[in-house]
Chains A and B, each alone.
Chain A
Amino acid sequence: MTDTMPSNAELEAIRPPRSQWWDVWDQFKTHKGALLGAGFFVLVILAVVAGPFLWHIDPTYIDIRARNQGPSLAHPFGTDQLGRDTFARMLAGGRVSVAVGVTAMLLSLVLGTAVGVLAGYFKRLDGPLMRLTDLFLALPLLPLLLVIIMLFRDTLRAAFGPEGGIFILIVFVIGITSWMQTARIVRGDVLALKEREFVLAARSIGTPPRRMIRRHILPNVLSPIMVSATLGIANAIITESALSFLGLGFPSDFPTWGRLLFDATDYLQQYPERVLWPGLAISLTVLSVNYIGDGLRDALDPRIRGR
């Protein structure tokens, strides 16, 4: 009888092997807000990526007889002042806004991490790189964007078409003006890590700096990088919205969430729902991404994890 009962030692052995990422997921799951946020964000991504394949109305098609309509089966979010379907415009707009957000975030992340690690690890580079960071922090985004748009618009438009050109321009500008916080945080962490025993040990066996950074430093600063990545998405979406809101950036008939919000403000009194949709989409997406960042920070920190 007792033979059929597995011993304690055997139980331990049967348990599936756990990686670090399983632990992170377990911890992440305990954060309700983060879970909800992640769910919503995935939903938004699915909607904007797959939505236009399922919802066939062209977001720029003007059906002038159907203008200023409220929600109906044909137009679930109603139509705008020219009879364009608001739902289709929300999907198309979300595609651009989210794409801008993610791409600009990646760009700023790569830049910020590179500058931060280099400045933290190599003492010689620290001064110049940090002064460069200060310089960028002092740059005002909007005037800079105006100048850049004026200088490079025609060249990029010729090379990539009107929408592609502006997309590259906006992503680039948001990317190069939002990497500084990441760089500073990463540098601080790297400075602290550099003095730790395991780094000293690695260096004493002759590990070259390239491998030191890849093997020992980067994995340990992953948690602040991940967090600033999520915050970066939110920031980029908001910046793009602000630019469209000001009437800059994409052509006026090219929907983005910010542009939809901007167009709707004129009709705030008569058709308040028109401001509501893009406003809600922007705030909820940003909020959900922020929650994901919050959850990730807790989950990625081994000292908090498991408590």
Chain B
Amino acid sequence: MNIRHLLLGAAASLALAPAAFAERGADGHVSIIYWQAPSILNPFLSGGTKDIEAASLVIEPLARYDQDGNMVPWLAEEIPTVENGGVASDLTSITWKLKPGLVWSDGSPVTAEDVKFTADYCMNEEMGCAQGSKFQGVKSVEVVDELTVKVTFEGPKPFPYGPFVGAQSPIIQKAQFENCTGAKAPSCTDANFGPIGTGPFRVTEFRPNDVIQMEANPNYRDPNKPAFATLTFKGGGDAAAAGRAVLETGEFDYAWNLQLAPDVLANMEAAGKGKVVAGFGTLVERIMVNLTDPSPNLPEGERSTRKHPHPFLSDPQVREALSLAIDRQLLTEIGYGQAGRPTCNVLPAPAIYASDVNDSCLVQDIERAKKILEADGWVDTNGDGVRERDGVELRILYQTSTNAVRQDFQALIKQWWAEIGVATELRNIDASVFFGGDPGSPDTFQKFYADVEMYANNFDGTDPEAYMANWRCDKIASPETQWQGENVPRFCNAAYDALTDAMARTASIEKRAELAKMMNDILMQNHIMIPLVDRGRVSAHSNTLGGVVLNTWDSELWNAADWYRIK
């Protein structure tokens, strides 16, 4: 984490500052609706987003991610890195320092003991911690002094920001949970329903699967925040009802995750009571290109394997032309509205990992696509509207899962490809079969018995190392791997593999970002996959609620302390 990002973070929080001029509790009441109701406020006992986000109003981690996916120190003084000595040079340990003077909502001080206790609590094997993956590879957590805690890993960890980072692993109070460890954890109802925290609010009443009442934390570290004295967190219903409650009737101030059709959402917003906000993560709808021959004439076991290169898609010019012919702007508008944005990268976020050298694909260019094909020798000699070369016609079988938006995309793309002289046959497969991964079925996306296929994929968290390693040679889905593996284009490139190896050894965030961008650019410039739409998350807030910054990397309520009422 360099100084630039810290400054950016500081600048961002300054921009949200108007509320800070008001005094605590001056803005009265705020109400939030989640159409999935929280059933517990302890993220270590629940993997549900609704529970984690509700709890994030009360309990906080040492560091969290901002709206761009950058880490910002929260309860910690700064983000430990190799440069500032926080991360050991052999990458096996990380040392966190707490901000001095932090107190829990009951007035007692927050110490390194609480941090260590949190780790021990979740790492207790009898408990079955829901956030166990955050603590994977942790050997021990030691208290160095009152405010310093050292996490030691079993081996070198180039990305050591698992424990205590993000809404999934907040710090809980040792005094409150001391007698609730291991198998006893779920039975401590009082603690699980009303954790004592450091966050801007504290729980006054918790009704599981229904509603939570909260009030401002009197001991919150910023004396002027939060602006709201009380908060209602209502759960239940469905996305449409939640959207209506904020956008049409104005009963609530904030509604989470409105997965609705673009025109439905636009109609609600037209009522004028609220605003729809979108945040973008890493979920990219893309077309995968098969570099191997899926012809049914090949014997089973050789079909769609690297033994037989694809008759025309192995030609990079053809792949480029296919990508150029697509109008991503229009696809986004029709399929996702505000919940999508056109993209030219398979790794569109977090911001530091997003490459900007491929953005020329955002503009559809049918004429150039035609020229590329012509220059490459693909011409329509027999007048059937389909280009051919050496007797090979550009006829594509295009498969995807059964889903209204995807079928619309297929129809549109088919028409654009027809304009450049490529004939397309569409196929849609039931999603449970397509994504089912059954090696016995010919219709899975890994088996890829088609020329191109479309689906969306993303990765968990903010670190793309494992995700980018998906397109290594050894991740190719083939009969030898029982058709498992995310490398469905059957892409194999030694330079790419070397970059993934380098990333696994690199600790500096900037260098990692550079490597990830290079990998993304190799994939994009070879047109191994054709990214279409970066699909985001959509929430809505009332016109009178200020300070909302939608964050898809952490809890959506991450900056609730900065929210205020616009008068």
Contacts and interface: CB of A to CB of B under 8 A. Distances in A.
A225 B526 CA distance: 62
Nearest to A254: B426
B408 interface: yes
A244 to B, nearest CB: 11
Contacts of A270: 263-264
Given A247-B402, A252-B411, A252-B427, 11 more contacts: A68-B263, A82-B334, A82-B408, A150-B441, A154-B442, A154-B449, A247-B430, A252-B410, A253-B414, A270-B263, A270-B264
A251 B427 CA distance: 5
Considering the complex of A and B, which 6 residue pairs feature the smallest CB-CB distances, nearest first?
A154-B296, A247-B402, A252-B407, A251-B426, A253-B411, A266-B404
Contact of B428 (A62, A68, A247): A247
A137 interface: no
A263 interface: yes
A155 B411 contact: no
B426 A150 contact: no
7 contacts: A60-B411, A62-B412, A67-B334, A150-B443, A162-B425, A252-B410, A269-B264
A61 B425 CA distance: 15
Interface residues on B, range: 20 to 34
A81 B334 contact: yes
Contacts of B402: 247, 252
B412 A64 contact: yes
A14 interface: no
Contacts of A61: 415
Contacts of B442: 150, 154
Nearest to B431: A247
A62 B411 contact: yes
A263 B428 CA distance: 13
Contacts of B404: 263, 266
Nearest to B424: A253
A81 B404 CA distance: 10
Interface in A133-172: 150, 154-155, 157-158, 162
Contact of A158 (B261, B296, B408, B426): B296
A248 B428 CA distance: 8
Interface string B16-36: 000000000000000000000
B304 to A, nearest CB: 12
Nearest to B333: A64
Interface in A69-119: 81-82, 84
B491 to A, nearest CB: 25
Of the listed residues B404, B430, B442, the one surrounded by the most CB atoms of chain A closer than 10 A to its CB is B404
B566 interface: no
Interface in A233-254: 247-248, 251-253
A158 B261 CA distance: 38
B261 A155 contact: no
Nearest to B415: A62
A9 to B, nearest CB: 72
Nearest to B408: A82
Contacts of A67: 334
B330 interface: yes
Contacts of B428: 247, 251-252
Interface string B242-280: 000000000000000000010110000000000000000
A213 B297 CA distance: 46
Contacts of B412: 62, 64, 82
B263 A253 contact: no
Interface in B269-315: 296-297
A162 B296 CA distance: 13
Nearest to A67: B334
Looking at A84, A251, A252, A263, the one whose CB has the most chain B CB atoms below 10 A away is A252
A155 B296 contact: yes
A266 B407 CA distance: 12
A252 B426 contact: yes
Given A62-B415, A252-B426, A266-B261, A81 B330 contact: no
Contacts of B408: 81-82
Contacts of A68: 263
Nearest to B430: A247
A158 B127 CA distance: 56
The residue among A154, A253, A270 with the most chain B CB atoms within 10 A of its own CB is A253
Contacts of A150: 441-443
A222 B2 CA distance: 89
Nearest to A161: B425
Interface in B406-450: 407-408, 410-412, 414-415, 425-428, 430, 441-443, 449
Contacts of B296: 154-155, 157-158
A40 B97 CA distance: 82
Contacts of A269: 264
Interface in A261-283: 263, 266, 269-270
A81 to B, nearest CB: 6
Contacts of A81: 334, 408
A79 to B, nearest CB: 13
Interface in B443-493: 443, 449
Contacts of A263: 404, 407
Contacts of A60: 411, 415
A253 B415 CA distance: 11
A222 B402 CA distance: 44
